[in-house]
Chain A
Amino acid sequence: MSRLPVFVQDLREGRRSLIGWSLGLIVVMMIYLPFFGIMGGDSEIRELVESLPPALVEALRYDQMFTGPGYAQATILGLLGFALGTIAAVSWGARAIAGDEETGTLELTLAHRVSRERLVLERALGILVRLVVLGVVVAVVLLATSEPFGLDLVAGNVLAAVTAFVLLLLTTAMAALAAGAVVGRRVVALAAGTGLAVFGYVGDAVGGQAAGWGWLQDISPFAWAYGNSPITDGWDPGGLALLLALSGVLLVGAVVAFRRRDVGT
């Protein structure tokens, strides 16, 4: 019998959702990645992009769009994959405690031989595993389509960038989980996770352009993940460590808060 029953149960319950999000990511990637062919070279699109205000181009990271890795980063890892992955991560994180508490199923689980801390930790592990699966899906699609779509991706760099992608999603999931562990309201948990993701994204964009606002990038998880361009330059241990540390702090906070309070009131 399993030593981690809550974790196993979560994976069983979340299988359908995980398959759905994986398919969504695959569909989005299969729609966007083939377009790289018409972005490269001296296309009209390139001229169009060059005529746009530089700040806009930089905010949307269109300046990187004309190399394969830059395109994959700008369209998938930094934008659509990030958006889809964030929605999945936040919804899983919000569900782990707050959602389950609001539907009333948490009360029954906690009436059994499960401690509060164990529940939080096993649920967090379940989220991490699901995010890793999403990361594997993204990595496999990128590597498989690199040659047919002419993306010129380097396998090691893809792994580094997708790892950053997964850990970035983990921070938002843990923010949602922690907020749910503190207050037990799903809406608050969703807001916390989404808020952190948006803050990271906007902070990175603003910090990269506005003079005197560079410090925003120092505290933006998005910048920690992608600031050193892992998709072109490979592993960035410092950024990954920051993402892991933030996730860890949020998780510890979740455990401490959840141990102390009433459930289901």
Chain B
Amino acid sequence: MTAVATHSLTKDFGDVRALDSLDLEIPIGSIFGVIGPNGAGKTTLMRLLIDILRPTSGHAVVLGEDPRTAGPELRARIGYLPGELHLEGRLTGRQQVDFWAALGDDPASARDIAHSLAERLELDLGRQSRTLSKGNKQKLGLVQAFMHRPELLILDEPTSGLDPLVQQEVLAIVREARDAGATVFLSSHVLSEVEAVADTAALLRTGRIATVAPMAELRATAVRHLRAVLDGTSVREIRAAFSFRGLAFTLDDLGDGEVAVTGMVEGRADDVVKGLAGFHVVDLVYAEPDLEETVLHLYRGPDAGAETPTTPTTPTSPPTPTSPPATDEEEAR
């Protein structure tokens, strides 16, 4: 059973193709994350699903219906958090909650859920939304999306602007919704966030799906930045230790027996740790790169030949960075 399916879904804005014959299936009862750089088409896809935008061609099926024709009754079953949240500034949170509740089927229960969610997120509903910080506005947006217990949640960057503790709480709420039977479709440009909750993730780039995979698989392909400083050794020794494990890094002799090791690693954490273990480690940073790099790296993976867009269908798509991350490794060879 699928909660959302798209069939050759295409959306043009003038000459720009924002979504390019997208075929996607989101199973009922799962958390589906879509990641991708800005301008990849995440927001456009979500807006098409709630009939804010209309497809240029192709169609979507949401909870068994076509959003284009199903009308407001379908949207009553969906909770939507826009990526750019704009609230009526003069109204208090409570007044807005009352309004959203009044639009739904069961205002009384929606209001109750909204108030308990606001309490859980420590959001003061008595304040006018123009006086709220970005994070508190986002909380109100989340309350709005969850308050009528929708079957499908479409959340565009749900944790954007929230501090880490609240982010965790929001992800917990997302999981609870899934456990209660809802389907969650969320987008992010932060890989770790999708990693933390999603069952399946799609990588979207320039309006196309680059990869759809269970989270475990994506995690294995996750790219990491390595930066280490090793002591009491030489460039030659380190190169030998890592090439034994099939890893190549940029090595800089810092003098006094210290060598800096930098590079990108893809899913080889074990080899990295074991390779480093033979040396005295003075400093170590093993960090998640930003998503842009991850996406680019995945494009350079096994499928790169087929997926590299040589004929740009989207003239305004962001240019590929001039120094792709892989050069670090190439220099080291």
Measured CB to CB, the residues of A under 8 A from B are 1-2, 5-6, 8-9, 12-13, 16, 103-105, 107-115, 118, 260-265
Contact = CB atoms under 8 A, between A and B. Distances in A.
A13 B88 contact: yes
Contact of A108 (B51, B72, B144): B144
Given A5-B99, A113-B105, A115-B71, A13 B90 contact: yes
6 contacts: A12-B95, A104-B86, A105-B87, A108-B87, A111-B82, A112-B75
A1 B98 CA distance: 10
Contact of A1 (B73, B75, B87, B107): B107
B84 interface: yes
Interface string B36-53: 000000000001001111
B103 A105 contact: no
A108 B105 CA distance: 17
A113 B99 CA distance: 11
B86 A112 contact: no
B82 A103 contact: no
Given A13-B90, A111-B75, A115-B71, A5 B102 contact: yes
B240 interface: no
Contacts of B88: 13, 105
Nearest to B86: A104
A52 B249 CA distance: 92
Contacts, number: 77
B71 A8 contact: no
Interface residues of B, number: 32
10 closest residue pairs by CB, A with B: A104-B86, A113-B76, A5-B102, A111-B80, A112-B103, A113-B72, A262-B53, A115-B72, A9-B99, A105-B86
Contacts of A261: 54
Residue in A9, A104, A118 whose Cβ sees the most chain B Cβ within 10 Å: A9
Interface in B72-94: 72-73, 75-76, 78, 80, 82, 84-88, 90-91
Given A115-B71, A115-B72, A264 B52 contact: yes
B72 A262 contact: no
Residue in B13, B99, B144 whose Cβ sees the most chain A Cβ within 10 Å: B99
A158 B8 CA distance: 62
Residue in A111, A115, A262, A265 whose Cβ sees the most chain B Cβ within 10 Å: A111
Contacts of B104: 112-113
A5 B85 contact: no
A30 B238 CA distance: 90
Residue in A8, A12, A112, A114 whose Cβ sees the most chain B Cβ within 10 Å: A112
A145 B237 CA distance: 100
Contacts of B82: 104, 107-108, 111
B86 A12 contact: no
Contacts of A5: 99, 102-103
A117 to B, nearest CB: 10
B70 to A, nearest CB: 11
Nearest to B145: A111
A264 B50 CA distance: 13
Nearest to B106: A1
Contacts of A107: 47, 52, 82, 86
B100 interface: yes
A265 B13 contact: yes
Contacts of A118: 72
Given A104-B86, A115-B72, 14 more contacts: A6-B103, A13-B88, A13-B91, A105-B86, A107-B82, A107-B86, A108-B85, A110-B52, A111-B75, A113-B75, A113-B104, A113-B105, A261-B54, A263-B52
